Copies of this chain bind each other. A is one copy, B any other.
């Protein structure tokens, strides 16, 4: 049997700004436009976590969705929900919080908590029209 994937969707709301400290304010404005507003803006982030692997024959699960939901809640939602990513989250102290980087950080946080036999990927919607997926 080929691997099967399970997906769990959660959401969090956060403030951020796009900013490269190596650049002048003018360069930041030029590249990031209104996304670089120094007073921040924010999003409802929708997160889809995907795990691919074999079905456990005893449970019929790849992973218990309740356990996966609890894990995402504990490791991701409590960390980022209703936070200012630039100011309050050490993960983005030296990393520009683009959707790409947020997805990458979420992947790195979750990976050690997921069974090694399962392939992990994350999709993050910054808006309904802008989203990212890692790994592609």
Interface residues of A (CB under 8 A from B): 1-11, 13-16, 18, 20, 22, 31-35, 37, 39-44, 50, 52-53, 55, 58-62, 64-66, 81-84, 87-88, 95-101, 103-104, 119, 127-136
A104 to B5, CA, bound (A): 11
- Residues in B with CB closer than 8 Å to A135 are 2-4
Q: How many copies does the complex hold?
A: 6
> Closest residue to A10 on the B side, CB-wise?
B129
- Residues in B with CB closer than 8 Å to A119 are 136
> Closest residue to A53 on the B side, CB-wise?
B136
- Given A4-B100, A52-B136, A95-B60: A41 in contact with B39 (beta carbons within 8 A): no
